Structure 1
Amino acid sequence: MAVTTHPGEPARAEDRPHSLRPPPRSHHDRHVLTSTVDVFGAAHWLLTERAPQPGGEGLPFDALVVSVHPGGDVELTELSAVRARWPHLDRLPDGRFVVAASRARRYEDANQVQVFDALGRETSSFSVGDAIEHLLVDEAGHIWVGHFDENPAGIRRWSATGRLAWTSDGARIPGLFDCYALNVSGTAAWACPYTDFPLVEIRPNRPDRPVRVWANRIRGAKAAAVHGERVAFYGGYGEERDRLAHGELTETSVEPKEVGLLTLPDGPAPGRRHVVSRGSRIYVQAEPFTAWGVFDLSR
């Protein structure tokens, strides 16, 4: 992807890493339900024969996961009896897949999250609560969930068996009503929540200070990348949806630096965006969601 700065601001080099996309033969006659990039840099697409139908018609359904690994190897996995109409997808370190329904009207619904083995068979299911905005798996196999504003749970970390392992309740994160941005890398998470948009670092295994908070003036970002003391926020409201705002971390706040635009490898594109944050990287998709562009803050 390319970075273009606003006039009068320091110039930055263009960043044009490769795009991640599935081989054409795997998806030309299928519908892309969702896609993600896992903590190890592999991209995954969840494909079905047709788009979801109103009223839940056609549930459950069989689906195909196409995985493209960083070296270019392609892997196909058939999943049986997927129940999520609007799913989130990620992969556990042992090769299993997690598929979760973004909406769970009944919190006692034990079937919201499905875990599938390498042969595509469901091995377990559990609930993590309604209104999932982000679902990302870390290197230790924990499942991080960030909720949007219809669920006050905020940010939580679950085991792959459905045990609640950490919650933002009592963490003193200011203005946590909607998890706008969530970045999971290694075993830590970074977040930028609505309404105050602080940058939040979460390391549950750090006993002295599991949560750190930096005040932040950059509003509305949908993704955040972190590299050392540098941070980049992607997205915003209205015409700022392709904004890339850079900052540096001080002891208590994010100090804004240059602001630019992030464009996809094929140039600006209309329509919705789908983003995933992983460490120093922000992965961006535009419709029809068949390719990921990559911005790396460490370059």
Structure 2
Amino acid sequence: MQKTALVPYAHLPRTPHHNHHHVLTSTVDVFGTAHWLLAERAPQPGVDLLPFDALVVSVDPDGSVELTELSAVRARWPHLDRLPDGGFVVAASRTRRHDDANQVQIFDALGRETSSFSVGDAIEHLLVDESGHIWVGHFDENPVGIRRWSATGRLAWTSDGAAIPGLFDCYALNVSGTAAWACPYTDFPLVEIRPDRTDRPVRVWANRVRGSHAVAVHGERVAFYGGYGEEPHRLAHGELTETSVEPTDVGLLTLPDGSVPGRRRVVGRGGRIYVQAEPFTAWGVFDLSS
């Protein structure tokens, strides 16, 4: 089986902050900048240390580093992304009944909280687009599908009534520009969502690749990463026809040194899939367009 190695993309720099902080989460934003959310302590089951101060370390594609201190973060198991104005979104994956209005926190570029709101329990993916809208895909403990929110907490688009088959768990979500691509459980169709397009804002292609947790799309080409059972590192390629994804090739996606990752994070952005393996200090990239 053909192997494709990730290309090294961004590393968490060795700084005094890194040496004494725990990586809570990390992401790559819509403009290609990598971000790490650091805290002095790792979250512990049954131990409530909220709120806490945190540090965001941002590494631009050119390698420049920026530090942003966030005050009074309230997410135990957080999602993170950057807004186009330089601020940040931090969201708890699970809501707490007594504090669900504080599930999503918006911070300005100086790290000050400016607003908070709820987007619903069971966040699987949270990705910000170029316009500053926040895309949220949920897992099956709250099967509400996919939603797009403004940075002030206004619901801007919902998959309700969008005729997406089998949308029970948002396995894969890719946000690039102002559009999104998804591959949801249970039917795993490939879905293109362009809310700003008045004509046909949602397109659906039948797809035979099951269980993928990341998707990349470039023109008529598509790649799915991940799978069930013995295929967690599968990289399946396909081409778009009018109604379906036609498989063309299947291989393995490996780390840059040729090994396969254990625990990992994945982010889909257009034609790219970013992968971060434990200890979560480095991102690699697969680029479908290259």
Band the TM-score falls in, shorter-chain normalisation: over 0.9
Cα distance, 1:107 vs structure 2: 9.4
Specify the SS of the correspondent of 2:12.
Answer: coil
Distance 2:47 2:191 in 1: 37
**Deviation string, structure 1 residues 11-65 (Cα, Å, up to 9, x no partner):** xxx5653331111124122110000000000000000111112224211000110
Is residue 2:2 matched to residue 1:5? yes
Note if contact 1:166-1:204 (Cα within 8 Å) is conserved in structure 2: yes
Is residue 2:94 matched to residue 1:94? no
Note if contact 1:108-1:127 (Cα within 8 Å) is conserved in structure 2: no
Matched residue, 1:17:
7
Note if contact 2:21-2:40 (Cα within 8 Å) is conserved in structure 1: yes
- Unaligned 5+ runs, structure 2: none
Distance 2:229 2:163 in 1: 30
Listed as ranges, the matches of 1:88-127 within 5 Å are 88-106=79-97, 109-127=100-118
Specify the SS of the correspondent of 1:24.
Answer: coil
Note if contact 1:269-1:286 (Cα within 8 Å) is conserved in structure 2: no
Name which of structure 1's ranges 120-129 and 55-64 shifts more when overlaid on structure 2.
Answer: 55-64
Note if contact 1:281-1:297 (Cα within 8 Å) is conserved in structure 2: yes
Name which of structure 1's ranges 265-274 and 27-36 shifts more when overlaid on structure 2.
Answer: 265-274
Specify the SS of the correspondent of 2:282.
Answer: coil
Provide the TM-score with structure 2 as the length reference.
Answer: 0.97
Note if contact 2:5-2:255 (Cα within 8 Å) is conserved in structure 1: no
Distance 2:204 2:216 in 1: 15
Specify the SS of the correspondent of 2:100.
Answer: coil
Is residue 2:286 matched to residue 1:295? yes
Alignment match of 2:217 (pick from 215, 221, 226): 226
Cα distance, 1:265 vs structure 2: 1.2
Is residue 2:128 matched to residue 1:137? yes
Distance 2:8 2:48 in 1: 38
Specify the SS of the correspondent of 2:95.
Answer: coil
Specify the SS of the correspondent of 1:110.
Answer: helix
Specify the SS of the correspondent of 1:125.
Answer: strand
RMSD (Å), alpha carbons: 1.4
Identity of aligned residues (%): 83
Cα distance, 1:81 vs structure 2: 0.4
Is residue 2:168 matched to residue 1:162? no
Specify the SS of the correspondent of 2:127.
Answer: strand
Matched residue, 2:26:
35
Change (3 A) 1:101 1:259: same
Matched residue, 1:9:
none
Distance 1:106 1:86 in 2: 16
Cα distance, 1:131 vs structure 2: 0.2
Provide the TM-score with structure 1 as the length reference.
Answer: 0.94
- Unaligned 5+ runs, structure 1: 7-13
Listed as ranges, the matches of 1:1-299 within 5 Å are 5=2, 17-25=7-15, 26-106=17-97, 109-299=100-290
**Aligned residues between the structures:** 289
Cα distance, 1:208 vs structure 2: 1.2
Distance 2:130 2:97 in 1: 30
Change (3 A) 1:43 1:221: same
